Copies of this chain bind each other. A is one copy, B any other.
């Protein structure tokens, strides 16, 4: 069939399940955004800036799978690149569409605005090459193939891709396939698949202490069902990482906890480190997810990734994670055993409230009682993620944090994306004042779309995560003390609820009155009050980052570990 390049691209995005597109208009993409407005689908969600758009797309992808954003040449593309790199780091399939210079300008080598104006032509694509899995500049000759290649690559690798759509070709008609684009995993090589599954099943059958450790790729590659089946069938304990909290039910008797190096319980360390058949799915050893390399996976660990299995001395390729797991499940016998609960589950407890200044401990205790099944909890890097990671999640919750990329400000943009992806769920944002300031304006987009998150802004007078590392009393860790709770009324002309909470009693009252409307709560806590895990991590981070000649050992350099 004949179709304009712009409409073909929009159709493809819709066919793979993208219902919303984020972005900022610019003169080199307006013609495409106009096609979107004419077509009516996917829904356009205009952001305040491109970085926020990239965060929104990332958040959207975490609940939806594929996501897309539209930016303009140079200025827009480079503003979004941090968010796209984050999606690469954390394995999310994002299609970044850059409305770029008209082909006529490229061919004629005329200098254009939104460029370096030095004759260079592909510098932005080259920058994106560093942080995306595939890139293309569309032409009428390659568009039909490249659009499909890029979307498929993003989906198969769970990585972002970058696509330049020159502004003078979006309305050109080309021949395109009639059939919808269907995303399919590649077929596995049968021999490699059978061999790897046999190898793994053999290892499992001979094991006395088998266990599973899953990182984010278990979710990204869509094998949580298989993980559950395998764990159930063999009664395997399953641990997650701090970067994958919540992807295995924390209410399951098989859930063994969050494995986080030396910060894990001894029971969990024994279980993981002492396993004679640890199946690690998508595991990456990163300072921030291994408690600064204090983890210790057994040498005999079986490593399963999206398209490979590393088992003993054999490395299997040409297979898919899903096919391997399915084959293993089918080939192992049910283990008949009394189910063991591997972890003590915290029960909600009645909390004392008081009129004394609110502490972090009080807040996280109250939040534990407040969360309910099905919540989407988005926790900013720092105090929020550290405290949030300790929550025992009710059934069906999703926990979102950027544990590896750790770009502060991410979560406010991401919240817009999660809200659009799953408006029927309750979304709770946990964010600090320092982080909030990076992306604050995107709150206005959330209000503009009449979305109803619960936002807890922890105002602790600056970058508390940094104060655990260096500069406890340093000026550079202070931020301006905004009237945060007044912001919703600046950004929206509707009546919106916001509260400033200084004590646990006030917090309790606010939480009791929560309904399903937009709610913004500013929590006042002290700059040096932080979850213990954050403080310990800060000290480890300083030692790793600055070495023995660093300034972290000076008196008063860091938030100290509390005595008690």
Contact = CB atoms under 8 A, between A and B. Distances in A.
A563 interface: no
Contacts of A463: 25
A116 interface: yes
A156 to B, nearest CB: 16
A481 B492 CA distance: 7
A545 B31 contact: yes
Interface string A457-476: 00000010110011100111
A44 B172 CA distance: 52
A374 interface: no
A171 interface: yes
Given A33-B471, A46-B476, A406-B75, A284 B489 contact: no
Interface string A18-54: 0000001111101101111100000010101101000
Interface residues of A, number: 108
A389 to B, nearest CB: 14
A104 B403 CA distance: 21
Contacts of A48: 437-438, 440, 479
A289 B470 CA distance: 47
Contacts of A222: none
Interface stretch (A200-208, A261-269, A441-449, A524-532): A441-449
A359 interface: no
Interface stretch (A176-184, A319-327, A343-351, A547-555): A547-555
B474 A286 contact: no
Contact of A480 (B24, B110, B448, B549): B448
Contact of A75 (B46, B86, B466, B487): B86
A113 interface: yes
A502 interface: no
Contact of A111 (B286, B465, B491): B286
Contacts of A480: 444-445, 447-448, 491-492
Given A102-B544, A124-B130, A171-B546, 15 more contacts: A27-B470, A27-B545, A30-B469, A30-B545, A31-B546, A35-B551, A37-B471, A105-B287, A113-B289, A117-B286, A117-B404, A168-B545, A445-B480, A483-B489, A486-B490
25 contacts: A28-B545, A30-B545, A33-B476, A34-B471, A34-B474, A34-B551, A49-B438, A74-B82, A75-B407, A75-B408, A78-B81, A88-B116, A102-B544, A112-B288, A113-B403, A113-B406, A117-B404, A123-B131, A168-B546, A168-B547, A437-B441, A444-B480, A444-B482, A480-B491, A483-B493
6 shortest A-B CB distances, which residue pairs? A113-B288, A78-B82, A75-B407, A123-B130, A168-B547, A49-B438
